[in-house]
Amino acid sequence: MTTEIELKRGLQGVYIDRTQSSFIDGAIGKLLYRGYSIHDLSEKATFEETVYLLLYGKLPNRKELNDFDAHLRANRSIPPEIVQIIRLIKDAHPMDVLRTAVSALAAYDPDVADNSLESTLRKGVRLTAQAPTIVTAHARIKDGKEPVEPDSNLNQAANFLYMLFGKEPTSAEARLMEKDFILHAEHGINASAFAARVAASTISDLHSAIVSGIGTLKGPAHGGAAEEVMKMALDIGEESNAEQYTRDILESGGRIMGFGHRVYKVEDPRAPHLQAECEALGEQKGQPKWFRILSKVAEVMEPYASRGICPNVDFWAGTMYHLMDIPKDIFISIFAMGRIPGWTVQVMEQYANNILLRPLLLYEGPMDLEYVPIDQRE
Ligand code: COA
């Protein structure tokens, strides 16, 4: 019987449903959000516009964008009880804190038990607005500082940097952060979106689905790569060490973080946008060495391109954050903040045409064993 079963380990190459949210063609390195190229969105759109596009399915006109942006800005605060929770668990990893705080926010959300599409959208907007407040409050509390209140005069990206550092970023830094949020906003049925959809498929609520997404994103095979790449660059230390360091990892059967992707086999179309920024920022900050180290690693990895192993978005993101003085341990949280709209839209799609996500496992253990009472076991 078992010979007739075709196992699809890791669900590789399996379509589990239809979507209108994003399109990915890994063979040619193409990514669209709602039909629009990631190249256009990352270069020309704002994060707020991109979130509107994902959630409402169309680009907003000026009035729609202004109203939506004002709504996002008005929803950034978090209850003092959540700040208390953050204080209690301040020594945990920022992703654990974000996961816990989002979970706790459910207790304060007036729509928590309402899984209608309208309510889910409202909750997704609130969580998108609140996530940077959680992440920055934790980063500051951990550092012995007080959280900075959100500033409604600043857009999402600028306000995030303002709440993190306690001073307004330059417009160039804010735009860089915004571009990063846009590039991370949505990405098909990756592991965290799948986790969010699995939770939604049981008709659980958006907070639970986003908590599942955050927990799944945390792993180094998914969102954790940016942090690992920067650790690698720091470990390498000097450009002259990069080649040997990379070869040593590969020869010992290890993986170079920030390389490879389950879907993209030629180029991750998000990567070049951050690569260019990373180089420019390094020059501007008088620290070109990190870009040079990573470029050397990428050079050693060039032969792997023929096996479909190319730099992914996280290869350059970590260095960009480092150059902006963002602490390493919140790199994944930045990814999560950008991705909340993507998780939300996928949860809405799941609800709109729900089917319980429940695949099968092929059992390979022994069968029909005789139960032996405990006193008679050897
Ligand atoms: N460095 C070196 N070799 C790599 C590699 C990397 N980063 N990524 C994949 N490979 C190799 C594997 O060793 C394997 O080789 P083998 O066939 O000789 O055993 C082959 O490529 C296929 O790897 P596999 O893990 O089966 O591919 P996948 O599609 O399941 O993996 C990732 C995708 C992202 C999990 C994987 O590329 C990876 O671990 N990358 C590093 C982490 C990372 O950057 N994650 C962020 C993704 S956005």
- Whether 221 lines ligand 1, by a CB cut-off of 6 Å, is yes
- Whether 93 lines ligand 1, by a CB cut-off of 6 Å, is no
| Closest atom of ligand 1 relative to the 229 alpha carbon | 44
Instruction: Tell me if 75 sits within 8 A of 105, measured CB to CB.
Output: no
Count the neighbouring beta carbons within 10 Å of the beta carbon of residue 293: 24
pLDDT for 335 equals 96
- List CB contacts of 95: < 8 A, sequence separation 6 or more: 214, 217, 218, 223, 332, 333, 336
Separation between Cα atoms, residue 111 and residue 322, nearest integer Å = 38
Separation between Cα atoms, residue 325 and residue 150, nearest integer Å = 20
In the block, tokens 């496992």 appear at 361
pLDDT for 95 equals 97
| Closest atom of ligand 1 relative to the 315 alpha carbon | 44
Per-residue pLDDT tens digits of the chain, which is 378 residues long: 546 899 999 999 999 999 999 999 999 999 999 999 999 999 999 999 999 999 999 999 999 999 999 999 999 999 999 999 999 999 999 999 999 999 999 999 999 999 999 999 999 999 999 999 999 999 999 999 999 999 999 999 999 999 999 999 999 999 999 999 999 999 999 999 999 999 999 999 999 999 999 999 999 888 888 889 999 999 999 999 999 999 999 999 999 999 999 899 998 999 999 998 899 999 999 999 999 999 999 999 999 999 999 999 989 999 999 999 999 999 999 999 999 999 999 999 999 999 999 999 999 999 999 999 999 999
**261 has catalytic annotation:** yes
pLDDT for 339 equals 98
For residues 77-96, b (16+ Cβ closer than 10 Å) or e, as one string? Answer: ebeeebbebbeeebeeebbe
Residue type, position 246, single letter: T
Separation between Cα atoms, residue 7 and residue 300, nearest integer Å = 35
Instruction: Tell me if 321 sits within 8 A of 331, measured CB to CB.
Output: yes
pLDDT for 366 equals 98
Instruction: Provide the 8-state DSSP code for 13.
Output: T
Closest Cα to atom 39, ligand 1: which residue? 221
Residue type, position 16, single letter: I
pLDDT for 3 equals 65
Joined together, the tokens standing for residue 30 give 């193409």
Separation between Cα atoms, residue 246 and residue 204, nearest integer Å = 44
Active-site choice (39, 71, 93, 222): 222
Q: For ligand 1, pick from 255, 268, 270, 294 the residue to mutate: most ligand atoms within 8 Å of CB.
A: 255
Residue 259's φ and ψ, nearest 5 degrees, are -120, 145
On the CB side of 165, CA atoms within 13 Å amount to 15
